[in-house]
Chains A and B, each alone.
Chain A
Amino acid sequence: MSNTKKYWKGIEELQETPEFLNQKQNEFAEELPVDKFLGDDKLVNTNTNRRDFLKVLGFSVTAASLAACETPVRKAIPYLNKPEEITPGVANYYASSYWDGQDFASVVVKTREARPIKIDGNELCSITNGGSTARVQASVLSLYDSNRLRKPQMNGKEAEWSAVDKEVKSKLEAIAQRGGNIRIFTSTIISPSIKAAVAEFTIAYPTTQVVTYDAVSLKAIADAHLASHGKAMIPTYQFDKADFVLGIGCDFLTNWLSPVEYARQYASKRKLSKDKKEMSRHVQIESLLSLTGSNADKRVALKPSQLGLAAISIYNKLTGSSISTAATDKDNAIAEVAKELASYKGKALVVCGINDPAIQQVVNAINTYLGAYGNTINTDVIDYTRQGNDAAVANLVSEMNAGSVDALIIHGTNPVYSLANGDAFKTALSKVDLSISLSDVADETASACKIIAPNSHFLESWSDANPRTGHYTLGQPVINPLGSTREALASLLNWAGNTTNAHDYIAKYWEVMLYATSAEIAGFSTFWNKTLNAGLLVKSTEIVTNSVPTVTPAPSSTPVVSDIKPVADLSAAGSSIVSSAKSAKGIEVVIYEKTGLGWGAQANNPWLQELPDPVTKVTWDNYVLMNPDEMREKGFNVLMGQEQLSDTVDVTIGTKKLSLPAVAQPGLPKGVVAIAVGYGRTAAGKTANGIGANAFSLVGTSGGYYQFNVSGASISGSTGKYNIAATQTHHTMMGRQIVKETTLEEYKKDSKAGNEDLLLATNLKNIGKDGKAKPQELDLWQNFEYKNHFWNMAIDLNSCIGCGSCVVSCTAENNVPVVGKDEVRRSREMHWMRIDRYFTSSMNEEVAEKEGVGAIDKFLKMEVPSTDDSLEVVFQPVMCQHCNQAPCETVCPVLATTHSLEGLNQMTYNRCIGTRYCANNCPYKVRRFNWFRYNENEAFDFNMYDDMGKMVLNPDVTVRSRGVMEKCSMCVQRIQAGKLSAKKKSERPADGSIKTACQQACPTNAITFGDFNDQNSAVRKAWNDERKYQLLEEVGTQPSVYYLTKVRNKPATTKA
């Protein structure tokens, strides 16, 4: 029946009009625009038909593939004279020193065939103790930055060193003869040899003066100590002796003085075990939710202008004095903190990161009252890493503007970018007759200088450092300079008429100054070799005086007293704090350093750009952080995601305006925004240029001190939309136990607190109680015994501070490609490990039940992080969990992912065909798919595509190709190397002899790795710890990676 039905296309067909019949013959109703898409008349008229084309194509393809079958000729080029210490294929390690003008680290550099490929902390060094920051980890890639200068420049053109030296010397001599002013404008110098060279330079040119400048200055700490202790110094802090830590606007875990050391000390005081059930308590009073604040047991969010008031209130409460103060938004909470603090006398430490001498004086007074000096603060060992003098810098700029500076040598800093009045500095620079930059890239400042005498990278240089009293380190080159560069030390010496090279000069300096006073080792060459091998020398007393001729600082507003009489001077400090707090109006701005990028010295480093900010999880951008409630009020989008565009806003202070996207940050008080420095570069290089805006331009000055908390800002409405790339767009755990957490009080009662056994209800009669069973007992699979090794990893969530050093270390070790912002936005980042960050929500099951909130409302509210002080943050590093019953392994159609006899979940790239079933089946979402051939695709113009950047690749790890899956291998290359070295020694690998890259980088020793089958291994102990749990245990994957419950030192009643 149905066949008889006839449908017409239209009335034309029914009537069978001649036009229709004519049209019917043609397949295409309109003539095809062949010539258009061929675009060439010759092609349209060609005689080659489709068949011929296919024949030729087929033939050439076959011929080409046949031709490709011939043995490719590969060259093998050995050394002509092989250096004795190099065995091709075996890594060499050299101790050296990292210094970027702000952070110091004693490091060990791994080189392969004389090519540095990895940097880790030096375990012999008491400061870093083997840990490192993300910036230290990434600095090896900065060596291979193709943007670095290859040759000196004169007036914008490449020049030879001889010409530069001749020009500089003749000009300097002329200037010195006519009595013109010569200035060395430098970041903090901690190298005793460079200081000696500067002194030598000053003798040659007596009109020289040195101006030291820290982009992120902490001068107020030194000056406050001058006022309260009679000595301008930054003491060293001992968080490992503090039972109570109070941070006031101080990000001491990532960006304050000595982050690796302080993070390690802090974490060591918070480690728990069967025998140690005490930990320190940490309270943080701050505005921006910093990484340090995220780790606090209690956090009080205040406007930046009120932080000083809080300090006064605490002091008043503690001592009973009545220094005039004003009310803050949270007086009750502050009073509670003061009350707690009072009971920790002699065991407490208060640190403050605000560059205001008045506040620092109050903090010193609190510390003095608490007896911190001598207990938790060491004034015998002084920190030399911040010597900048803000007032002197201002003085220099006015001198330059007045035309009274004839020569300016800029070393280790970039004032055109990092000064608030950078443009003014640039104009002033043009009035200087001889401007020389020692920068290794033609950055914002260097490109405005007449001469650039490029400094070598620290991995190409001889150097030394004296970061604190009695602590000396050496730095040695691990590669020949990649371009024609020269150590700044050698340049200064050369211009001073001393042609000694850096090595000889440093060696001589050490022989005279340090060896002469070290009786313990005989013979200087032995002493030198031993020190160089260890990388450092620790002396009990200070030998070298840090004498550098400096510009007399502008008169400081703080009075100078010689002995400890803090109370007498505090009223002045108090009134200064109150008056500046009262003058704060409009919206307040916090200018901060990001954990990864810092002040931006390594902004052109793609590893740091792609490292997500630990708290916001945003990559590749800076932005305006705002309170989410406030954003909602203003109608801004608070959500993140591929389809969620952020609103751009204008932040205006006076004449300065920054246009940046607004990002929601719970924990930030209303009326406050925060912007990170380090972005908005214009001449840093291809990676950093054009990203974000420069927040340094908003930095204020008060009493001669740079202020990173400023007020009087206004914020516009949405001016447009902007794509933000974040690696995590959902912020809460939705009531699930992903990160298990408890309080110290409960933990002391029951070490399994917060980690109660998970029981699943079944209808099985023979299992557990009432048919309830642990997930491990409900198993379809047979158990497998690992006879040889069984590699496991334990992560102590109580130690992890979320700093991201491990992520960069993993990137460096495992040749993880950088994918760029656009790909991150599509959730295609390639990092083998990530650090999940969760906020708590004010809504949970209990609250919902009590208040009778409906299910849908409940879940909607649970998605929203709380915005009051009940907000808590947890971090959780997640990498491949190496499940013993791995869901990924069972779904791979080609057996590209399998389980090894040592418990590793192996990923075999050459077998993988890219179905991505495994990634879909992975409950932890740790598998990464290679969408592109990042090392050969010009769209990904990062380190792997770059000829220079390729040199950082680890030759023991495959560079993955397009179309395969990859993931954490538990550093199998290190496991194999460790096993081999044990076999050669005829022994079993010792516990701790094999370290994964993440474990090695961790400053807080949060990650433990080892052989579970070794009964005494640290990882076995962690397995037996009652805080141990496995992620998503209920899925039954039985991971080889496990976590230890986070414990907060707070009363049990406030459990969220």
Chain B
Amino acid sequence: MHRFKIRIISTVAILLALFLQSSALQAQDAAKLFKANCASCHKPTDQKLIGPGLKGIRSRWPEEAKLISWIKNSTAFLATGDAYANKLFEEYGKSVMPAQNLADADIVAIIDWADKGGDAPVATTADAASTETNATGAETSSDTYAIILLGVGIILLVLVSVLGSVKTSLESLVNERKGIVVEPKPVRTPVENFKLWASGNKKLVAIIGLILIIWVGKQGWDGLMGIGVYQGYAPEQPIKFSHKIHAGENQVACVYCHSGVEKSKHANIPSANVCMNCHMYIQEGPTYGKEEIGKIYAALDYNPETRTYGKNQKPIQWIRVHSLPDHAYFNHSQHVAVGKIECTECHGPIDSMEVVQQYSPLTMGWCIDCHRKTEVDYKDNKYYEELHKKFVNDPSYKKGDKFTIGSIGGLECSKCHY
């Protein structure tokens, strides 16, 4: 009964989330812009981050034009001597808001969206809640099932053996009554018994044997194929950094920290000075308080009171989660900057991971699969456009042939091995 309730609740939650998301679709551009440009310092609610929360921002500023010019270049605007701006500047510890290179229309869109308090946070909370309940629900059910089944199984086994012994003792009692002398059965070892039984049930033994062989073979094969595949690997990190808080709740864009992803083969683990862009101001986290953020300070030998750096700096030794073998070459920028693939396609729902885990198997088969299926977006890239023309004009081209990565050499060895 209880399980049933959980299910209903979670279904409702999912539906609700879907509904909210669909209504949020219209504001998606603004949300995206917000995420890329503002989210590292502002929240769309009334909560403070580094800067003020943006909910109700319109009512706080006297004129929208002023707000826009402030956003575009806060230092220049401060110089005009605007009272509200200067008050704001003092209030937030004289930290300068960097100039934003955005079109007016974009700024207005962001303000429109944020003024209402955004929509993502609501969705995210519901989303997160639903996934959580879902997860716990699923776990409870499967665990209880197993335990109950096991219990019933044990009880049944005990019952069978008890009944068996009752039967034999009853039989011997009856025989004694009747005076029948039963010849004592020849004493056999269990092995001999099994052999006797097996010789009588050859077909059954053969079938069971076959099933056993297949099962063992399958397990062995899976085991061997799994060597070196660390899907789900989620090591404990020296700092309990939560992507759920940063990328999920605070909507910090992935590229903000992993700045190499469009330029380099590596996405880059951000250096501690990137952390300090925000954590200069945010000195306490929602989950672990000052403890985990304090570790960044310790690494940089930073004193948050005096805001000074010492000399005793020690690098943070993160545990590497995604690790390709040395003979495989992988380039993030090819996939992200050229292929326009979203981070989540390979890294999964990072924004809901408290501890990052390897979402994809990262096996060669997985790479190849994607290269086979994915069609190249040739339209806005002159490199591919020419190639696509040749592809289509080829006499062997049949209608319906797909211009996939594989069809232009994306399955070749020396694309990744050299």
Interface residues in chain A, defined as those with a beta carbon under 8 Å from any beta carbon in chain B = 69, 71, 73-82, 87-90, 787-788, 898, 900-902, 904, 906-911, 956-959, 969, 972-973, 976, 979-980, 982-984, 986-988
Contact = CB atoms under 8 A, between A and B. Distances in A.
Interface residues of B, number: 55
Contacts of A986: 380-383
Contacts of A976: 329, 331, 415, 418
B53 interface: no
Residue from B230, B300, B383, B412 having most chain A Cβ neighbours under 10 A: B383
A82 B258 CA distance: 13
B297 to A, nearest CB: 12
Contacts of A79: 271-273, 315
Nearest to A909: B327
Given A74-B319, A78-B270, A969-B414, A959 B264 contact: no
A906 B233 CA distance: 33
Contacts of A988: 382-383, 386
Interface string B124-152: 00000000000000000000000000000
Contacts of B334: 980, 983
B386 A78 contact: no
Given A77-B317, A78-B268, A81-B272, A900 B409 contact: yes
B235 interface: yes
Contact of B409 (A77, A901, A957): A901
Contacts of B259: 87
Interface in B227-249: 227-228, 230, 233, 235
A373 B180 CA distance: 137
A81 B331 CA distance: 24
Given A901-B408, A983-B338, A89 B273 contact: no
Nearest to B268: A88
Given A78-B271, A986-B380, A988-B382, A906 B338 contact: no
Interface string B245-280: 000000000000001100111101111111000000
Contact of B265 (A76, A89, A902): A89
A910 B414 CA distance: 11
Nearest to B270: A78
B116 to A, nearest CB: 38
A76 B320 contact: yes
B260 A87 contact: yes
A868 B67 CA distance: 91
B414 A900 contact: yes
Contacts of A71: 230, 233, 235
Nearest to A896: B413
A894 to B, nearest CB: 12
A902 B412 CA distance: 10
Given A90-B264, A900-B414, A983 B320 contact: no
Interface string B331-354: 101100110000000000000000
Contacts of A88: 260, 264, 266, 268
A983 B331 CA distance: 13
B390 interface: yes
B264 A89 contact: yes
A908 B338 CA distance: 25
Dominant secondary structure at the A interface: loop
B300 A972 contact: no
Nearest to A81: B273
B396 to A, nearest CB: 10
Interface string B162-206: 000000000000000000000000000000000000000000000
Nearest to B339: A983
B83 to A, nearest CB: 37
Interface in B368-392: 380-384, 386-387, 390-391
B108 interface: no
The 6 closest A-B pairs by CB, nearest first: A89-B264, A82-B271, A906-B414, A901-B409, A79-B271, A89-B266
Nearest to B227: A69
Contact of A75 (B318, B381, B409): B318
A788 B300 contact: no
A910 B409 contact: no
A81 B338 CA distance: 29
B394 interface: yes
Dominant secondary structure at the B interface: loop
A908 B414 contact: yes
B273 A909 contact: no
A632 B271 CA distance: 70
Contacts of B394: 787
A79 B235 CA distance: 21
16 contacts: A76-B318, A76-B319, A78-B318, A80-B315, A87-B260, A89-B268, A787-B391, A788-B390, A901-B408, A901-B409, A906-B417, A969-B414, A976-B418, A980-B333, A984-B338, A986-B382
Contacts of B230: 71
Given A80-B313, A904-B414, 10 more contacts: A75-B317, A78-B315, A87-B263, A88-B268, A89-B266, A89-B268, A787-B391, A906-B418, A980-B338, A984-B333
B413 A980 contact: no
A661 to B, nearest CB: 40
Contacts of B27: none
Nearest to B326: A958
Given A900-B412, A980-B338, A988-B386, A82 B264 contact: no
B323 interface: yes
B299 interface: yes
Given A73-B235, A74-B320, A902 B409 contact: yes
A683 B40 CA distance: 59
A972 B271 CA distance: 31
Contacts of B413: 898, 900, 906, 908, 911
Nearest to A68: B227
B316 interface: yes
Nearest to B334: A980
Contact of A80 (B235, B299, B337, B417): B299
Contacts of A957: 418
Contacts of A76: 269, 318-320
Contacts of B319: 73-76
Nearest to A83: B271
Contacts of A87: 259-260, 263-264, 268
Given A89-B265, A90-B263, A901-B409, A77 B417 contact: no
B273 A82 contact: yes
Nearest to B418: A972
Nearest to B269: A78
Nearest to B321: A76
B260 A89 contact: yes
Contacts of B417: 906, 908-910, 958
A88 B270 CA distance: 11
A71 B358 CA distance: 12
A78 B228 CA distance: 24
Contacts of B263: 87, 90
B390 to A, nearest CB: 5
Nearest to B266: A89
B259 to A, nearest CB: 8
A196 B88 CA distance: 57
Contacts of B323: 74
A909 B323 CA distance: 19
A980 B337 CA distance: 10
B271 A81 contact: yes
Nearest to B337: A984
Contacts of A80: 271-273, 299-300, 313, 315-316
B255 to A, nearest CB: 13
B233 A77 contact: no
Contacts of B271: 78-82
B318 to A, nearest CB: 5
Given A74-B319, A973-B418, A986-B383, A901 B268 contact: no
A73 to B, nearest CB: 6
Contacts of B381: 983, 986
Nearest to B315: A77
A76 B238 CA distance: 11
